[in-house]
């Protein structure tokens, strides 16, 4: 559909079509910026770009989703408050240039079906897609980790959202039918196969993540404060990843109650990810589900990033037959839950949760049965044929 829009707008076929997926995180929440572990999946919801290069240094950018367009010069890339949707692409072009890559102008159309502001990383998909598109259009050679780093830099330093590395990483390096187990400290990773007989089902609370940005920053600061205070006790730690429960007990008198809770979440969540990978590899899906349930409780009680709607969706899910585990996913304060459901129960699950949610809150939840998909670097971009 983006390709057709390109033809309509620019009058001929695009040179390149590139896709980058959104993501859902199975477990490992609010651990990435603490140097911890995460286990996300790239999903079959994508942002697609159609583009061709230009001889001058102008960029003509069209958003199908926002039905809007904007034009700028590569000589002076600035934030555009009037077209905020364009900043993710602007940021990528800007940092490619400042890092010495040579760009040309381009005609670009993009859009997709990753729900926006739902915690499924539509912005990371735009950023990763824009880097991969630039590689194709301008014949740039970036190593996979460079792609991830640059996409995240656009989000951190151009869009000014202080996110961790998980979203851009999985959008670039996800693998079909696999989750990705990532150590956010040294960026080593491996793909863990998923099981055919269970479905990953995402329930969208439909509630915009109003507090997500401000509360996310508060959590980030609290984690840094906790590290600083633990260091005053003589612990040589650089991040909460390096703290264990025994350390925490010793140090607990110096930490304020709130920092103690935040730290406890990060320690226990990292532990849960390591366990989750082990049990997934052994095929013990019940245990995997229990870890998801425990993750939700910790995010709700210790990290305090859940919401009434998310708690209701999770409780409804946990009461359904065939459900192995359910939890909120992403930054929190609205957005989505992720559920691991036996394949044969998927349909009845979707119906029951939808009905229950409407009954409890008078709200509609969108339900997506997701397929674990390839990331943008897995070769899903193609040179346009016509
Ligand atoms: C957002 C951020 C990620 C991560 C999650 C919470 O999605 O972009 O980097 O911190 O929240 O796990």
pLDDT in tens, 74-126: 999 999 999 999 999 999 999 999 999 999 999 999 999 999 989 999 999 99
In this structure, is the dihedral angle defined by the CA atoms of residues 108, 114, 115 and 121, taken in order, positive or negative? negative
| pLDDT of 371 above 90 | yes
Do 291 and 340 touch, CB atoms closer than 8 A? Answer: no
Q: Determine the 3-state secondary structure of 246 from DSSP.
A: helix
Domains 2-195 and 198-370 share a fold: no
Asked if 137 and 61 touch (Cβ cutoff 8 Å), the reply is no
Helix (H, G, I), strand (E, B) or coil at 66: coil
pLDDT of 344 above 50: yes
Query: Given a cut of 70, is residue 210 above it in pLDDT?
Result: no
Q: Which helix (H) or strand (E) holds 171?
A: helix 166-173
Q: How far is CA 235 from CA 35, 230, 251, in A?
A: 17, 6, 9
Residue 302's nearest CA partner among 374, 219, 246 is 219
- pLDDT-derived band at 330 (thresholds 50, 70, 90) equals very high
Residue among 28, 166, 202 to mutate when testing ligand 1 (max atoms within 8 A of CB): 166
* Calpha distance 158→142 (Å, rounded): 20
| Of 171 and 1, more confident | 171
Distances (CA, A) of 333 to 100, 134, 189: 39, 34, 28
Residue pair 74/93 in contact (Cβ under 8 Å)? The answer is: yes
Residue whose CA is closest, atom 8 of ligand 1? 163
Q: Compute, in angstroms, the gap from residue 252 CA to the centroid of ligand 1.
A: 26
Q: Which of 331, 334, 335 to mutate to test the pocket of ligand 1 (most atoms within 8 A of CB)?
A: 331
Q: What is the mean pLDDT of the segment spanning 272-291? A: 98
Tokens representing 40 are 């996300």
CATH code 3.40.640.10 for 198-370: no
Q: Is residue 349 scored above 70 in pLDDT?
A: yes
Where along the chain do its domains lie?
2-195, 198-370
Q: Which residues have C-beta atoms less than 6 Å from ligand 1?
A: 29-30, 32-33, 163-164, 166-167, 330-331
Q: What is the mean pLDDT of residues 125-151?
A: 98
Question: Measured between alpha carbons, how far is 179 from 84 in angstroms, rounded to an integer?
Answer: 31
- Give the separation between CA 30 and CA 37, rounded to whole angstroms: 9
**Mean pLDDT calculated for residue range 297-320:** 98
- pLDDT class for 381, splitting at 50, 70, 90? very low
**Per-residue pLDDT averaged across 366-381, rounded?**
88
Q: What would the mean pLDDT of 255-268 be, rounded to a whole number?
A: 96
According to the model, what pLDDT value does residue 379 have?
Answer: 64
Quick one: 56 exposed, middle or buried, by C-beta within 10 A (0-12, 13-18, 19+)?
A: exposed
Give the chain's mean pLDDT.
Answer: 95
Query: Could you identify the atom of ligand 1 that is nearest to the CA of residue 29?
Result: 12
Q: Which of 167, 186, 247, 311 is catalytic?
A: 167
Average pLDDT of the residues in 37-64: 98
Question: What does the DSSP 8-state code read for residue 115?
Answer: P
- Asked whether the beta carbons of 336 and 321 are under 8 A apart, the reply is no
Residue nearest to atom 2 of ligand 1 (CA): 163
The yes-or-no answer on residue 302 being catalytic is no
**Atom 1 of ligand 1: nearest residue by CA position:** 331
Beta strands in the chain (DSSP E): 16-27, 37-53, 58-63, 68-73, 106-112, 178-183, 189-193, 198-204, 323-329, 336-342, 366-370, 382-383
Residue 380's pLDDT is: 46
Q: Give mean pLDDT, residues 37-56.
A: 98
Across the range 243-261, mean pLDDT stands at: 92
Quick check: 22 and 46 in contact, CB under 8 A? yes
Scanning the structure block, which residue is given the tokens 């008078």?
362
CATH no. for 2-195: 3.30.230.10
Identify the pLDDT of residue 1. Answer: 86
Predicted pLDDT of residue 29: 98
């Amino acid at each position: 559909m983006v390709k057709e829009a390109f033809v309509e707008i620019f009058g001929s076929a695009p040179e390149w079509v590139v896709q980058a997926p959104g993501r859902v995180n199975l477990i490992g929440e609010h651990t990435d910026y603490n140097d911890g572990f995460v286990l996300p999946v790239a999903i079959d919801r994508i942002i697609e770009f159609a583009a061709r290069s230009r001889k001058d240094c102008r960029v003509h950018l069209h958003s199908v989703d926002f039905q809007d367009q904007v034009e700028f010069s590569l000589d002076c890339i600035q934030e555009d408050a009037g077209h905020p949707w364009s900043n993710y692409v602007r940021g990528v072009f800007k940092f490619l240039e400042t890092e010495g890559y040579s760009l040309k102008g381009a005609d670009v159309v993009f859009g997709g079906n990753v729900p926006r502001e739902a915690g499924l990383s539509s912005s990371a998909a735009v950023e990763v897609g824009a880097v991969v598109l630039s590689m194709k259009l301008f014949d740039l050679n970036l190593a996979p980790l460079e792609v991830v780093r640059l996409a995240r830099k656009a989000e951190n330093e151009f869009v000014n959202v202080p996110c961790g590395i998980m979203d851009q990483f999985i959008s670039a390096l996800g693998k079909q039918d696999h989750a990705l187990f990532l150590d956010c400290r040294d960026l080593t990773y491996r793909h863990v196969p998923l099981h055919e007989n269970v479905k990953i089902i995402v329930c969208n609370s439909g509630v915009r993540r109003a507090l997500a940005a401000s509360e996310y920053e508060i959590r980030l600061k609290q984690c840094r404060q906790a590290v600083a205070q633990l260091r005053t006790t003589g612990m040589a730690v650089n991040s909460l990843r390096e703290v264990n429960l025994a350390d925490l007990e010793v140090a607990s008198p110096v930490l304020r109650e709130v920092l103690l809770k935040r730290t406890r979440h990060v320690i226990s969540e990292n532990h849960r990810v390591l366990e989750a990978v082990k049990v997934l590899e052994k095929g013990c899906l019940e245990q995997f589900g229990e870890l998801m349930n425990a993750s939700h409780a910790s995010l709700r009680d210790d990290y305090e990033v859940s919401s009434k709607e998310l708690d209701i969706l999770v409780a409804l899910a946990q009461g359904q037959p065939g459900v192995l585990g359910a939890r909120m996913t992403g930054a929190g304060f609205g957005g989505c839950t992720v559920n691991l459901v036996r394949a044969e129960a998927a349909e009845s699950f979707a119906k029951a949760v939808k009905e229950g949610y409407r009954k409890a809150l008078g709200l509609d939840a969108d339900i997506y049965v997701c397929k674990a998909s390839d990331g943008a670097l897995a070769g899903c971009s193609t040179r346009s044929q016509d």
